[in-house]
Chain A
Amino acid sequence: MAVVGIILIFTFVISAGLPLFFKVGPYRFLFGMEWRPTGGQFGILPLILGTLLVVAGALVVGGSAGVVTAIFLSELCPQVLKRTFKVVVELLAGIPSVVYGFFGIIVLIPFIRSQVGGSGYGILSASIILGIMILPTVTAIAEDAVSSVPIDYKLAGLSLGATDWQTIRQVILPAATGGIATALVLGIGRAIGETMAVLMVIGNAPQIPDSLVKPVSALTSTIALDMAYASGDHRTALFAIAIVLLLIITLLLISIRLLHARLGSAE
Chain B
Amino acid sequence: MRPSSAWLRNHTYLVPLVLLVVAVALNYYFQPNFFQPRVLNGNLRVMLPLMVLAAGQALVIIAGGIDLSVGAMVSLVNVLLVTLVTRESGPPEVLLAVGAALLVGAAAGAVNGLCVAYLRLQPIVTTYATSFLFSGVALAVLPRPGGALPRALTTFYRSAPLGVPATAYGIALLLLLWVVLRRTRFVQYLYAVGGNAAAARASGVRVAFTRFLSYVTMGLFAALSAMMLTLSTGSGNSRLGDAMTLPSIVAVVLGGTRLAGGQGGVVGAVIGVAVLTIIRNLITFSNVPTWYQTLFDAVVILLALAGPGIVQLIRGRRA
Do A and B pair up? The answer is: no
